Each structure stands twice: as C-alpha cells, then as structure tokens.
Structure 1
C-alpha cells in the first residue's frame, strides 16, 4: 500500500485541534461556573476527565491493537459527537462530570492512536517534526476555543454559550469523513506485553521522562485552565479580556510548536529545551516582580507579557516526546504512549488541584512564583534525561 505522508498529517492535525478545544474549554467552564461552584469543587472537576484517561490508557492498549489505530480514532470521535450534541440540552452541573468523563475516554483512545500512526509512518527527525506539527494544532485549538467562547460570552447570546460545543461536534463529523478515506501503515496485531518486556519501562531514562511529562503538563494545565481566572481575579479584567489573553497564550504556543517543527530538523533537542525553559522562568520572574513592586503602575502589562510564555513553553512536550519515541520500538509504541497519556493526565489533574488550592487560599497573587516551582524540577531532570541512555541505563 502506497502511503502519502503529507496527507496523513491533515486529519491528525484536525483531530488534535478538536480535542484541544474540548480539553481546554475548562478555562471557560471554570470562569462561567465560579459564581455557582467553589474553587475546590471546580478543581476536582478536572479529575472526571483525567481519571477515565488513566483507566482507558491502562486497559485499552490491546483493544486498539486489534481494532486498528484509524478505527479507534473514529470511535473516539463518535463519542465526542454524541456528548457535544447532548451537553447544551442538559442544564445540570452533574452532566459536566459525565461529559468530561466521555471526553477523557475519547482523548485517551485518540492520543494513543495518533502517536502510534505517527510512529508507524514517520522516522527520526521527520517524526519529531510531525509531532510538533500535530501538537501545534493543539495550541491553535486553545486559541479558537477562547476567542470563540469569549466572543459568545460578550454577545447577546451569552446564555447559550454551551451551544458552542455543537461546532466542535460538526468538526468531529468532518474529521471522521477525512479518516475514512485515509491510507496509513497500521500495526501488526501483537500479543500483550510479556512480564519481561515491562523491564523496558523501568529504565532510568524512561522513568525520568515520565516524571518530566507529568510536570510539563502540570505547568501547561496551570496556564490553560487557570490563567483566565488569574487575569479576572488579580488584574481585574472582565471575562472577555481574560479569555482573550489566554487565547493569545495559545496563539504564541501555536507559533512556538510550528517553529519547533522546522527548527528541530536542524538543532539538537536538548539545547532547544534549555533555552525554552530559561526563557519561561525569566518571563515568570519578571511577571512576579511587576506584581510585587509595580502592581499599580504596570499590572496591565502582564496581560501582554504572560502570553509570550506560550512561545517557549509549547515546544517542551513534543520535544521530550519525540526524543524518547524515536528510541521506542514499534511493538512497544501503544504501551509507551498509553503511559505517556497516564502521566500527562495525572499531571493535568494534580496541576488543576494545585491551582485550585492556591486560588482557594487567596494566594493567586503569587501565581507566577508557584508555576516556577515545577519548572525548576523539569529544568533539573532535563540534565539527567540528556545524559542517560535508554540502552541498559548507561551514561552516554
């Protein structure tokens, strides 16, 4: 079968854009429900998405092997279509929990399938470029969801904001049609991993990578879901501008990943990552100094300064992922990606709880400082990740 690799990217990019809008609608939901539900209650809400992601990632690897990546992707989109059509029709907080659980299940199926398709159809730096391109769509999805819902919330149809999810359902239908005609290299059906094969996932480099993945998503979640609330509570901007600032964080993140998809073909991932981490920490430090010493005079500068972080934060996850995924055999890809999804989901859930407690305790004044702490952990672990080989856990 002849595979056109350029055509493979388009439906995968649309797929990640769809799930980005779903997963990152949490910022909108938190903003809209914060007057009805406590921050503690909203912090727990994220777990209804993340726990199903963990469960599905653990239990459905062999099912995806048998079903095929493309079919699993289509099934995940069908779940999305049904749940998004139903959401505006059920006016109850409890349904958000069910809806998020369905989104979590669907995303777990989709992410394992998308990364496996990339692994099977791209190699080496082309694989890193493909992951960065697909992940760039994840960032532009955050931009669209914030711009779209921000505009809707300031219009005369603000009470019908949940009907915005019907647009996502429509995009999902288009994605299903694109996937139906897509030709890809699929996995050969393999047997479940034997006990001895699990030793691979206990190699030092893999363990360090999983911890890094946890904290990277932890930080991303702290921005994506809670930045609008920080702008509204601490900078006293209205909901529309709070969401627009978050949208521009996503726009800068999109450009960050798009640029990365080109530059990674020329530069070593490690230098790239260190530069990005230093820039994020520098901008956060400047932001915290402004809040502490120049709040009254320059607080609105933060609305423009903080979104620039996306340019440097967004390359991290695809760069770490591609570095390790390139060294994982095709036979282990599904299992490896499932564990990436698990640690990412745990990072998302714990990150949201971490931010919820900070806001609940009225410590959001130190929002940049609290985000810097996990970033420093990532910075330290990156040195070990670069120095450790996946082969026998030996130093390079």
Structure 2
C-alpha cells in the first residue's frame, strides 16, 4: 500500500503539471485573441515557463534531496495553487507570464523529485524503464484532458473575451487534491544525501557530470527532442486555426489527438521495448516522424475549412498530423531511462537536474523559432523545419549508443 500510494502521489503530481505545462499552446492562441498581441510576443510564454525551469533546477537540483522529496513536492504544488487562484482575478498578459514562471519553478522542483523517487522505487533497468514510461504516459493523459478542459472555457461568441481564464479555478481544486495525496504518502529521503557534507557538493557534481562525453551527447539529444515536441505541440492549435481554418475551440480540441498519441505511444513503448532494442526502436520512430511531416503537410494546402463548427467537421489532415506524437512519444523517456540506468542512484538527482535544464532550453528554443518562422513564412514552413533536428537526433543517437556500450 505504501509503494502504491507513493506512485499515486507522483503520478497525480505529474498529471496536474501536464495540464498546466501543455496548456501553453492554448494560452498562446487565446492570448493573441484576448490581449491583441503578436505571435512572437505570445511565444515568450514558453520562455517564462522553460527558462524558469532551467534556471531554478540548475541551482536547486542538488539541494532537493536534502530538503526531502515529499516536502519539495508540497512546496511546488502550493506555489501553483496560489498562482492559479490569482490569474483569473487579475486577467492580463503580465499575470499570465508570471503564472507560467511559477509553473516553471514548481515543475523544476516536482520533476527532479519524481525522477529521483522513480529511481528509489526501481530495482532494475527494466523496472525503471517500465515505471518511468508509465509516469510519462500519465503525464500525457493529463495533457490530453487539459486540451478539453480549456476548450470548455473558450468563448468563441465573444471575440477578445477573457472568460477562458476561469479554467484556473477548477485547476486549483485539482492541485489541492493532489496536495492531500502527497501529504498522505510515505515518500522517504535519500539516505546518501543525508550523510553528504557540503551544501554545494551536489551542485559541483552536477557541473562536473556535464563535461563527460556520454552526458554531452545525451543532453544534446534531449535538447533537440524537446525542441521538436514543443515546437509542434505549442503551435499546433495555431496551425489548426490559421492554416487549416478551424475555429479556436475546435483547434484546441483536435490538438488533444497529439496528446493522446503521445500518451498511447509512451504507454505502449514499455511493451515494445521488451522485444526490440531501444536504439533500433528509436531510429524507426524518428524515420516515421520525418515521413509523417513530408507526406501530410502538403495535404494542408488542399483542406476545406468551410462550415466547420465541431471536431467532426474537421478535414482529414487535422486528424492525421497530430499522430506524429505516436512516433515521437517513446524517444524522451527511453533516452532518460537508458541514461539514468547507467548511473548510480546517488547521481540521479544531479542527472535529472541536467535533464530538466536542457529540456527547458530546448522547449523555449523550439517554441520561439517556430513562432518567428510561423509569423514570417507561415505554419507549413515552420513545421517543415522540424526535419532538421530530427536528422541531428539520428546522428546523436549513434554516438549515444556507442558511448553507453563503451561504459557498460
């Protein structure tokens, strides 16, 4: 029961943060409409979220084990609860920026804690990969439900309405419930860090770790992957709206297919990896992603946007393009699992700190580049550019596989 409650606590924490983090694409679309801002201005929300994650996790990842994972989770959840309650009361773009900064800071605390707890609960590489893929799958289920939750609050009848900000009230309630689950769990401290001397020893270890060739090629792979995922995921609602001509609420709802594909892909990956080598599997996934982009994007030019009032009226390409998430899904958790499983448990918090930092930097870079390209050259060109980092990941994977074999 203790183990099950602990897993439930970290899964619930990841679920609510999935809704908050992956709402950035919807919030960008609605902010452009409600606050009259440009796409490059709106893309800065990704920076407020991701740069706060990167900056904060870089400096606190080594301190979190000392504080305790349970206390850290409670602090992170408390911060976003207050931010969600304040946002609809003030209702302007500045407070939305501050909301995403709070989400970023809190997620830095939560992710380092969750990844470290997964390591404590996993006695083997297979157990680690299985549990991590499950947790990441639950994360994507949270993202999926978030698109529908937000779409219910989008008022398409009143242009410029800020009624959609009321969604943060039920979200605050969900986070409070998660706080209770975490408070009731029995998450223990990592004994290694309780006996460690020097407050900056963990931070120094994390910096030293980043110079290793294996770690360098790993973090570059993570950076490029998140660049693609956030570039596509963040701007897909706007792509649906401006390129495919779907109404705002339908654009948000149909983007949920992307989150569903990510969730299904991650939940299935654990089973597929039992029979296929991870390196072969990821190469197949990346190749399939490239084919989806090359085959489906030309179809967007011929889609008919007349008379669309619900997801059932949307053109075929609107359903097919988000399925790129099915192939994209396993890459991130598999890379993380292979990397973390090759390290001692005592190094997991430091390694997770690096994962969070480079994931955040990749997310911001992907969103900003896609936003500027979208504004200047259109949505199709912006999405075509994702083929470049896909090719670079294929190269990185080759060296990563060689490095892990050498270390083993």
TM-score (norm 2): 0.90
**Any conservation in 2 of the 1:9–1:130 contact (CA below 8 Å)?**
no
**Any conservation in 1 of the 2:15–2:141 contact (CA below 8 Å)?**
yes
Seen in structure 2, the aligned counterparts of structure 1 residues 369 and 8 have a Cα distance that, compared at 3 Å, is: same
1:151-162 alignment runs, 5 A limit = 151-154=152-155, 159-162=162-165
The offset of 1:210, in angstroms, is 0.1
The offset of 1:167, in angstroms, is 1.7
Which shows bigger deviation, 26-35 or 155-164? 155-164
- Aligned mate of 1:257, from 246, 262, 266: 266
**Structure 1 match to 2:245:** 236
The offset of 1:143, in angstroms, is 1.1
1:370 matches 2:385:
yes
CA distance in 1, matches of 2:169, 2:275: 41
Listed one character per residue, the Cα deviations across residues 265-323 of structure 1 (whole Å, up to 9, x for unaligned) are 4432212211211111111111133346x5569x9221011121111111110000000
**Structure 1 match to 2:142:** 141
- Paired residues in the alignment total 389
CA distance in 2, matches of 1:184, 1:149: 32
The offset of 1:368, in angstroms, is 3.2
1:93-242 alignment runs, 5 A limit = 93-122=93-122, 123-154=124-155, 159-188=162-191, 189=194, 190-191=196-197, 192-193=201-202, 198-242=207-251
**Structure 2 match to 1:321:** 336
SS state of the match for residue 33, structure 1?
A: helix
SS state of the match for residue 187, structure 2?
A: coil
The offset of 1:345, in angstroms, is 0.5
**Structure 2 match to 1:337:** 352
SS state of the match for residue 91, structure 2?
A: coil
**Structure 2 match to 1:86:** 86
Seen in structure 2, the aligned counterparts of structure 1 residues 296 and 180 have a Cα distance that, compared at 3 Å, is: closer
SS state of the match for residue 184, structure 1?
A: coil
The offset of 1:70, in angstroms, is 1.2
Question: CA-atom RMSD, angstroms?
Answer: 2.2
Q: Which runs of 5+ in 1 are unaligned?
A: none
**Structure 2 match to 1:30:** 28
